[in-house]
Structure 1
Amino acid sequence: MILDIFKKELKDTLRDRRTIIAMIVVPVLVFPLLLGLSTTVTKYFADKQKEEVLKIAVVSNTPDNLFTERLSAIPDSLGPKEIFYRQDTLGLRQEINEDSLQLAFIIPPTFDSEQQQNQQSTVAILHKGVNLGNKGRITTYLSIIENTLLEDRFERLSLDKKLIKPIHEQFIDMSSKKEIIGKVAGGFLPYLFVIFGFIGCMYPAIDLFTGEKERKTLETLLTTPVPRWKILIGKMMVISLSGIAAAAFALLGMFAGLRLFSLVDLPGLSNVIDGILTPQFILGLLALLIPLTIFFAGIMIPATIYAKSFKEAQSVLTPVNFIVLLPAFVGMLPNIELDYTTALIPIVNIVLATKEIVAGTIDPVLLIISYAIMLIAAAISVIFSYKRFGKESNILS
């Protein structure tokens, strides 16, 4: 009988256009589109910044100084520039504010002599801090000029540059490619599960309870010789399945987006993703999704039973959505790992466990604890739903 109810409600759910869009279309398309858009926009602004001519004023008592010479020698491959010589700072601030100049270097008269005597010179820089891209180019220019001046000093003093750098860092990253992907995608993947798992459950829950109340078909269903708990379980199975499907299609969309748009500078990214998407990985995530979506269904059903209209049910569940997303967001924060404390917190444990599964560093004991806690939370939500579904005042209100 539960299976019959499940089949009937599943057919009705699949006929609902809003459910199909929320469960399949949006999760599959949203991430390739978002990743593609972010990649295109980032590349566009980066290329535009490189092509933009930076107008620079050099204020000095003479145009023939070391700073201007070294600045002019910087290749345009780091960004085109125009250099203007000025003898004073008159009108500079206004020109920079009007963006006719982007940058001005004020060189002290003693700059050349100070450099020849291996002393430090103070160079004032006028710029607009809101132009972040320009500031990056300024830093690059100054770094190049400083390095060339240092080379001159070492040559004059017949010194080895190693004297000012006693340690040469050689970073050797011991992280596997899978762990790198786990930290990049793994931090976002669980958040993705929670969002789309919740949305995937929400619309079927509203339709199967509030919708039936609006259509006056719920009372007819309850008059059939079927125990009320079987009706509840059949409907809950459809709601959970919708949440699992939405989360699974979101996973598919995200990994498809990662493969199409290489946001991670990692050779062999496609092979790493293929290595992550193994049957064991998919089954492991599915095992975590089942109690999570049952929990979502369990907290949604009482609200949808109580609501008198589709609009009211949406209004009630929207704040619940934010409450559910909070622990998912906490799980994304840095330095919060799955341990014996976080494994006891519902939703947070699923988020952190998923991250560890993607990275391949999951502790089996912590995984079992997380799963058990989520099963307990799901069971409590089912019992709560059953009690609310068993009250005639809630159903017939």
Structure 2
Amino acid sequence: MFEVFKKELLELIRDIKTLFFVLALPMLIFPVIMALVGFLGSQAALKAEQKVHTYYLVNEQYGQAYAERVFYHKSFKKYAGDEQFTSIEQLKQAVREGVIDVGIYLENDPEKTLAQGKQANWQVVFNDAQSINFIYDRLRSLANEFSDSLREQTLVSLGIEKTKQQAILQPIQISKVDTADKRENLGEKLGAFIPYLLIPLVLMGASYPAIDLGAGEKERGTLETLLLTPVTRTQLVLGKFLTVLLSSLACATVTVLSMAVWVSVAIGFVELDTVKSAFSSVTGADFLLIFALLVPIAAIFSSLVLAISIYARTFKEAQNYMAPLSMGVFLPILISVMPNMELSAKTALIPVTNVALAIKEIIKGTVDYGLLSMIVIASVALAALLLAFCVRWFSKEEVLFR
């Protein structure tokens, strides 16, 4: 078995392409993704922040003070064309055609409606399909300022002092006291994202060598030579399995180390004290726990991809089988980010989902070590079952010589 393992390992080391996917890519993927997401997000936000929108205001006489606030706001410029719009439908059409960016329809005068004990109805017409859009928030903020001034004037006219107005308008003030610390808050939001990177990379680390060790051997015609050696088929499978497992674990190790390094680097550059204090509490022991969870997952993937590779006739056919498997891995990860999905005695038995949930709990700092042990036992049992199936699969002539 170990002779087969040494042979396959030497061939794996000589394969530059596989080494790149197993070692180099995990080292690069975290800084590239972090830098790319950060750069694109900041650029999109900056562009949206600085964009000046063309507006058209209908019934300006109903809110002169508001119209002045919008006119002098740095994010808006008044429509200078010759077209006239008098209704909501006309404003909608103008926005769709790109004539204006936003239409503001003042249906009635707030001073008059306030005297009647009613609310004025103003509408903002714009395209809200953009991912980052400040139009509505800014116009609403300006309207709220105008509304506050009207309310204050009305209450003063009724004999209510400014100092008492807030207490009358809101007799009870409720404040939130959050029992979750900063790490738990950020871990809940970002912890679910990390398994999306870690687990598929572990699968990738097993897939590339497995394809070559099974379907590749068939295509090159070297599998028959291996079968003629004085080594049992169980030993052959175990030797190949250890090679694939080592490759997957190497990918997992590099991935976790890369994540730890780049998180520490990011902490040094991030200016937000909240982010710093949260991630600085993620210790080396937490990263070791994440790695320990990835080991049985690596064994599960190694057994599975090796069985698929043994079944495939050619290298290309094995690659075709790996594609839906890669997509299938995302399904249990997706389940882990569903609302109210938490690590429990039930979810600890769901393959892949349990590890994704456990990684999130580790990042949050709220992991239950009893459930963690259950996950490891369940994952190891599944890996052993799949390995036994792989050995049985390799013993069938109709599979080896399809």
**Normalising to structure 1: TM-score of the pair?**
0.87
Contact 2:202 2:251 (C-alpha < 8 Å) held by counterparts: yes
The equivalences for 1:125-144 within 5 A come to: 125-130=124-129, 132-144=133-145
Corresponding residue for residue 385 of structure 2: 380
153 and 83 in structure 1: CA distance in 2 versus 1, 3 angstrom threshold: farther
Q: Report SS of the residue matched to 1:82.
A: strand
Q: Report SS of the residue matched to 2:337.
A: coil
The equivalences for 1:1-397 within 5 A come to: 1-2=1-2, 4-60=3-59, 62=61, 67-73=63-69, 79-83=74-78, 89=86, 95-108=94-107, 110-115=109-114, 119-130=118-129, 132-157=133-158, 158-159=160-161, 160-255=165-260, 258=263, 266-267=272-273, 269-270=275-276, 272-278=278-284, 280-397=285-402
Task: Kindly state the Cα deviation for residue 352 of structure 1 after the two structures are TM-superposed.
Answer: 1.4
Distance 1:24 1:143 in 2: 55
Q: Report SS of the residue matched to 1:334.
A: coil
Task: Kindly state the Cα deviation for residue 260 of structure 1 after the two structures are TM-superposed.
Answer: 5.6
Task: Kindly state the Cα deviation for residue 26 of structure 1 after the two structures are TM-superposed.
Answer: 2.3
Distance 1:274 1:235 in 2: 40
Distance 1:61 1:202 in 2: 66
Contact 1:59 1:106 (C-alpha < 8 Å) held by counterparts: yes
Distance 2:185 2:113 in 1: 48
Distance 1:144 1:301 in 2: 66
5+ residue gaps, structure 2: none
Contact 2:333 2:353 (C-alpha < 8 Å) held by counterparts: yes
Contact 2:106 2:123 (C-alpha < 8 Å) held by counterparts: yes
Bigger shift: residues 217-226 or 108-117: 108-117
* CA shift digits 1:62-111 (9 cap, x unpaired): 4xx5x2313423696x7432346999728755543433322333335644
Distance 1:109 1:369 in 2: 65
5+ residue gaps, structure 1: none
Contact 2:182 2:277 (C-alpha < 8 Å) held by counterparts: no
147 and 25 in structure 1: CA distance in 2 versus 1, 3 angstrom threshold: farther
Whichever residue aligns with residue 36 of structure 1, its letter is A
Contact 2:27 2:254 (C-alpha < 8 Å) held by counterparts: yes
Task: Kindly state the Cα deviation for residue 274 of structure 1 after the two structures are TM-superposed.
Answer: 4.4
Q: Report SS of the residue matched to 1:298.
A: helix
Distance 1:93 1:308 in 2: 59
55 and 179 in structure 1: CA distance in 2 versus 1, 3 angstrom threshold: same
* CA shift digits 1:35-57 (9 cap, x unpaired): 22222222222222222223333
**Normalising to structure 2: TM-score of the pair?**
0.86
Q: Report SS of the residue matched to 2:344.
A: coil
Distance 1:80 1:122 in 2: 23
Distance 1:234 1:300 in 2: 15
Task: Kindly state the Cα deviation for residue 374 of structure 1 after the two structures are TM-superposed.
Answer: 0.8
* CA shift digits 1:302-349 (9 cap, x unpaired): 211111111001112222222333112211222111111111222222
Distance 1:180 1:170 in 2: 18
Distance 2:281 2:123 in 1: 53
Q: Report SS of the residue matched to 2:313.
A: coil
Q: Report SS of the residue matched to 2:273.
A: coil
Q: Report SS of the residue matched to 1:275.
A: coil
Distance 2:68 2:261 in 1: 46
Bigger shift: residues 366-375 or 84-93: 84-93
Distance 1:270 1:107 in 2: 46
Distance 2:35 2:75 in 1: 28
Bigger shift: residues 220-229 or 102-111: 102-111
Contact 1:210 1:310 (C-alpha < 8 Å) held by counterparts: yes
Task: Kindly state the Cα deviation for residue 202 of structure 1 after the two structures are TM-superposed.
Answer: 0.6
Bigger shift: residues 349-358 or 103-112: 103-112
147 and 300 in structure 1: CA distance in 2 versus 1, 3 angstrom threshold: same
394 and 61 in structure 1: CA distance in 2 versus 1, 3 angstrom threshold: closer
Distance 2:258 2:86 in 1: 56
Task: Kindly state the Cα deviation for residue 244 of structure 1 after the two structures are TM-superposed.
Answer: 2.2
Contact 1:56 1:81 (C-alpha < 8 Å) held by counterparts: yes
Aligned residues: 391
